[in-house]
Homo-oligomer: A and B are copies of this chain.
């Protein structure tokens, strides 16, 4: 079911080029001007009419007539009763692992005092208020709540709020509410779509404005995030999920097939790619995929996904496999090879790297600890997994005394004059009576 691409005879590089394009541009990030104007209108309406606009959109888009936007303590208590105790334990364990991993990322403010009396440094502080968007839909994204909220709380975010669209009866999936509470989310609101993004960006009577909005969503949510960006911060744009497995003859076809299938079930736009130098491994993986697929519930989605974006890529050697991976910059990269640690230094672009036969991608989705919110569609070239860095900000610190300023005062004046800014030069001159 995988599309086979043989790069061993790609003499002019044209096959590679087409492949990279196909895999990194599965969805455009440009939004049509029509979507932009619809979303801009929603944002304006929420800005001007606050809660009443929100309720109106919730009625229109979510078919839910809600009275209160904020989820109450009673709702949350009730949710705990509906979640299986084993699942609650699993959620707690997952939260603990996420917390431990992210705690190691905390940075200190620092200073660098020098003999000449100067002192420079950086103050590191958490964002004060963060908003998390959680889409609705049939499959509850329990783990995504943990994987965004916990890093924010570890960073020290004081107020973490969450917006999610309600069902038609106004309810929210209890597992989502429980995960939110366990992760430390302070307040949950019934609001979805572009209107929820607008509410978190500008505030309403009920929903406070935040400094940063995180979380995936449909094209309206993504467009709204793009439009409010600058008035508050936003996280990355989440595209369809993807995995790339680099495997050699030491890999287990059964495992590789299962991991490719697990990615393909997300979405018909999801991409599952195997890159190997071993033709017989590729054959075995293909056979295993056909076999395992029969027992899987989401086989229709998987078939469509593999047909469009499932690839088995043959290369001459491991170096070429890494080159292919670096160009695709996959969200998830599995290394099912003999000596995975020896190639870490060659991997330039990847959201998360899963090392060895017993680190399958679902381990990272749920339990390992690093956030599963990862850069997609080739954006691992320039962006990072959700982690503590995204919930802190820094301020530069500059201290000079009279002597150290005097030692450099001519440079400052010269620079200011070269840039034709004489009031800048004046600010130095007045201090030394020039």
Contacts and interface: CB of A to CB of B under 8 A. Distances in A.
Contacts of A128: 348, 381
Given A254-B430, A356-B399, 7 more contacts: A105-B122, A142-B419, A302-B423, A358-B404, A362-B416, A365-B424, A383-B393
A62 interface: no
Nearest to A414: B90
B353 A123 contact: yes
Interface in A256-298: 258-259, 261-262, 264-266, 292, 295-298
Contact of A142 (B140, B212, B232, B418): B418
Given A359-B399, A415-B367, A258 B37 contact: no
A427 B360 contact: yes
A412 B123 contact: no
> Which interface class (under 10, 10 to 19, 20 to 34, 35 or more) fits A?
35 or more
A296 B422 contact: yes
Interface of A: 29-30, 33, 36-37, 40, 86-87, 90, 93-94, 101, 104-105, 110, 112, 118-120, 122-123, 125, 127-128, 138-143, 175, 211-212, 226-227, 229-233, 236-237, 254-255, 258-259, 261-262, 264-266, 292, 295-298, 302, 344, 347-371, 374, 379-385, 387, 389, 393-402, 404-405, 408, 410-412, 414-416, 418-431
Most central of A94, A365, A382, A400 by chain B CB within 10 Å: A382
A139 B416 CA distance: 10
Q: State the main secondary structure of chain A at its contact with B.
A: mixed
A25 to B, nearest CB: 9
21 contacts: A104-B112, A142-B418, A232-B382, A255-B427, A258-B430, A259-B427, A261-B426, A265-B421, A265-B422, A296-B422, A349-B395, A353-B395, A354-B399, A357-B402, A357-B431, A359-B400, A360-B427, A361-B427, A362-B412, A362-B416, A364-B396
Contacts of A429: 258
Given A347-B123, A426-B295, A408 B352 contact: no
Contacts of A211: 381-382
A351 B233 contact: no
A344 B123 contact: yes
A381 B127 contact: yes
A419 B362 CA distance: 12
A122 B387 contact: yes
Contacts of A119: 355
B401 A358 contact: yes
B400 A358 contact: yes
Contact of A418 (B110, B175, B295): B175
A255 B433 CA distance: 11
Contacts of A366: 411-412, 415-416, 424
A30 to B, nearest CB: 7
Contacts of A424: 262, 265, 362, 365-366
